[in-house]
Amino acid sequence: MAEYKYENVKVEIRDGLAWVILNRPEKRNAMSPALHYDMDDALARLETDPEAAVVIIRGAGGNFSAGQDLKKFFRELDTNPAEKKKAAEAANRWRWERIYNFRKPTIAMVEGYCVGGAFMQLLACDFAIAAEDATFSLSEVNWGILPGALVAKVVSDSVLPRHALYYACLGEAFDGHEAARIGMINFAVPKDRLEKAIEDLAEKLMKKSPEVLRATKQAMRHVRTMDFGQAYDYLAEKGKAIRANDKEDSYNTGLRQFLDEKGYKPTFEAFKRGTLIGGKATSDPK
């Protein structure tokens, strides 16, 4: 198993789940340049780590993240433009480009505070589950600034315009129930059930064909900005790519298990993953 040793991030891999933990609990996991560099490196490595099937982003000490560290990320870099540019590039890269385009499923586990800049990694993840008493806040307006980097964009893309305007313009905090109501997360659970809910979701995802799951999440993300003609063409080619790259031959395996073996109900579950023997898929890998 690969070793991940960082000062500001912890990575724990067990049973296919990679827990990527922002590790500045004394600062409510406010994000410093050093943390951004650590996260950028960790996610790049996890994308090709065979031990990691699902990646979960969370914070240490009971908080997701209090946003950017105003002292470390802003004030201390104001007189160092080269380092400021480097830090900003790393911050934006891991919080958006890496997670949004990640080849494996990603889940945000939100408890405690999720503030400002932390909305980028929250909304870049494929899924998000929060504690009911989590505290979400787009508080930039109270500091006399805009939601920075891509925060304004990704919030506006994720919820209805009136919800985005209300919370960005007022800077009012809201809890996990409200985050679920406006579509910012999938759902909220009591804090003592949060980790179990994350594990249950991850286990369901790991039962799917990795290639088909990857293509599906990419397709769902990319067609949002296409017109209907572009979407038709893109999805047709994406479907061909799945058939060419899927080592489990999910299409034919699923048809056989459903039509011939009567072995599963596709409306309610994934096909039984197996291996290819003699060019044919089998549900029994033995």
Q: Is 266 helix (H, G, I), strand (E, B) or coil?
A: coil
- Joined tokens for residue 183: 């579509």
pLDDT of residue 143: 84
- Joined tokens for residue 252: 């034919």
Q: How many alpha carbons lie under 13 Å from residue 159 in its C-beta half-sphere?
A: 21
pLDDT of residue 280: 54
Q: pLDDT digits over 150-177, tens only? A: 999 999 999 999 999 999 999 999 999 9
Q: Decide the pairing of beta strands 280-282 and 135-137.
A: unpaired
Amino acid (one-letter) located at 193:
R
Residues 6+ apart with CB under 8 A from 42: 4, 6, 9, 11, 20
Measured in whole angstroms, how far is the alpha carbon of residue 45 from the centre of its chain?
16
Spatial separation of the C-alpha atoms in residues 145 and 154, rounded to whole Å: 17
Nearest to 155 by CA among 116, 111, 105: 116
pLDDT of residue 76: 79
Spatial separation of the C-alpha atoms in residues 82 and 77, rounded to whole Å: 9
Nearest to 159 by CA among 188, 181, 183: 183
Nearest to 52 by CA among 12, 9, 18: 18
pLDDT of residue 270: 67
Q: What is the pTM of this model?
A: 0.89
Q: Is 279 helix (H, G, I), strand (E, B) or coil?
A: coil
Nearest to 275 by CA among 283, 264, 267, 263: 283
pLDDT of residue 264: 61
Residue 82: in which H helix or E strand, if any?
A: helix 81-92
Q: What percentage of the chain exceeds 70 in pLDDT?
A: 89
Q: Decide the pairing of beta strands 187-189 and 17-22.
A: unpaired
Strand partners, 188: 130
Residue ranges, the chain, pLDDT below 50: 275-278, 281, 283-286
- Joined tokens for residue 175: 């809890």
Residue 240: in which H helix or E strand, if any?
A: helix 228-245
